[in-house]
Chain A
Amino acid sequence: MTTTTQQTPVTTQVYRVYIKATPEAIWDAITDPDWTERYGYGGRVEFDLRPGGRVIGYTSPAMREQGAPEVALEGEVVEADPPHRLVQTWCLVMGPEMAAEGFTRLTYEIAPIDGGVTRLTVIHDLEGAPIQAQLISGAFESGGGGGGWSWILSDLKSLLETGARMAA
């Protein structure tokens, strides 16, 4: 069987979740450190929400107890259009191999749907960053690496809809 389509490897990962919450609530949950520490990996993430502004994500207390460094991720805001769209660069710096892969590009799209439901789409372009790509796809979950974006977004949905995280 032949195909005429050029098959370039796709390094983008796309995740989508529907949450019964306002776009503003979802925007806050992504960009406010008091929210980011309440779901997913549980670290505070600080944003300077203007183009060129710094993004810095810290490890959670639980991760530091296990010997993790203080800073988990670094990046820069590319575009901030609250509460619709956030584009940033993103690099995990917890280990030298990941840090050496350099910055990836992360986009959040937040769109209201009918009935008080909002659609959150995460587009993560991981070109040149195979280790980070594996980690955030959840490939290291059984080894304690967390479940990546699906896990983070499932937990975020639970937090915003029920006020509680998933059962740990």
Chain B
Amino acid sequence: MTDDDLVFKALADPTRRFLLDRLFERDGRTLTELESELEMSRFGVMKHLRVLEDAGLVVARRKGREKLHFLNPVPIRLIHDRWIDKYTERRVSALANLKSELEKQA
């Protein structure tokens, strides 16, 4: 699998997107913290984190006795620069603006 494949595969799962959203909200969390927000076994969360790490979307670093998980946005940036910028940025941002305008009115 290419790097892009790993990222798309990692993002194709709602639990993994949920984990990324939690890290976006507050970065550098332990497995225990992340686990407490999910109805899932510790082993299950570990497996999902592993997929995210393999895709480079999460970087784990030791701090003292703890292992902290950080969101790494670079792979998403690379996909953005490769797939969005090149072909469709103008149209996509126009649509994104339209969506937020419409949602504001709703």
- Residues of A that sit less than 8 Å from B by CB: 1, 3-5, 7, 9-10, 12-18, 121, 123, 138, 147, 149-151, 153-154, 157-158, 166-167
| Set A10, A138, A167: member contacting B28, Cβ < 8 A | A10
| Set A3, A9, A138, A167: member contacting B36, Cβ < 8 A | A3
Interfacial chain A residues near B59, Cβ < 8 Å: 14, 16, 121
Q: Is the Cβ of A16 less than 8 Å from the Cβ of B56?
A: yes
Q: Is the Cβ of B26 less than 8 Å from the Cβ of A18?
A: no
- Residues of B that sit less than 8 Å from A by CB: 3, 26-30, 32-33, 36-37, 56, 59, 61, 68, 70, 72-74, 76-78, 81, 85-86
The minimal Cβ–Cβ distance linking A109 to chain B, given in whole angstroms, is 10
Which residue from chain A places its CB closest to the CB of B86 in the assembled complex?
Answer: A167
Interfacial chain A residues near B86, Cβ < 8 Å: 167
CA distance A157 to B37 in the complex (A): 35
Q: A5-B30, A10-B26, A14-B61 are in contact. Are A166 and B72 (CB under 8 A)?
A: no
Q: Is the Cβ of A153 less than 8 Å from the Cβ of B74?
A: yes
Q: Is the Cβ of A16 less than 8 Å from the Cβ of B74?
A: yes
| Set B3, B37, B74: member contacting A150, Cβ < 8 A | B74
Q: Is the Cβ of B3 less than 8 Å from the Cβ of A13?
A: no
Interfacial chain B residues near A13, Cβ < 8 Å: 27, 70
Which residue from chain B places its CB closest to the CB of A166 in the assembled complex?
Answer: B81
Q: Could you list some 27 contacts between A and B, CB below 8 A? A: A1-B36, A1-B37, A3-B32, A3-B36, A5-B32, A9-B26, A12-B28, A13-B27, A13-B70, A14-B28, A14-B72, A16-B56, A16-B72, A16-B74, A17-B78, A18-B3, A138-B73, A150-B73, A150-B74, A150-B77, A151-B77, A153-B77, A154-B74, A154-B78, A157-B78, A166-B81, A167-B85
Q: Give 6 new A-B contacts, CB below 8 A, not counting A15-B72, A16-B59, A153-B74.
A: A3-B33, A10-B29, A12-B27, A15-B74, A16-B74, A151-B77
Interfacial chain A residues near B30, Cβ < 8 Å: 5
Q: Is the Cβ of B70 less than 8 Å from the Cβ of A12?
A: yes
Interfacial chain B residues near A150, Cβ < 8 Å: 73-74, 76-77
Interfacial chain B residues near A12, Cβ < 8 Å: 27-28, 70
Interfacial chain B residues near A158, Cβ < 8 Å: 81
Interfacial chain A residues near B77, Cβ < 8 Å: 147, 150-151, 153-154
Interfacial chain A residues near B3, Cβ < 8 Å: 18
Which residue from chain A places its CB closest to the CB of B57 in the assembled complex?
Answer: A16
**Which one of B27, B28, B72, B77 has the highest number of Cβ atoms from chain A below 10 Å of its Cβ?**
B77
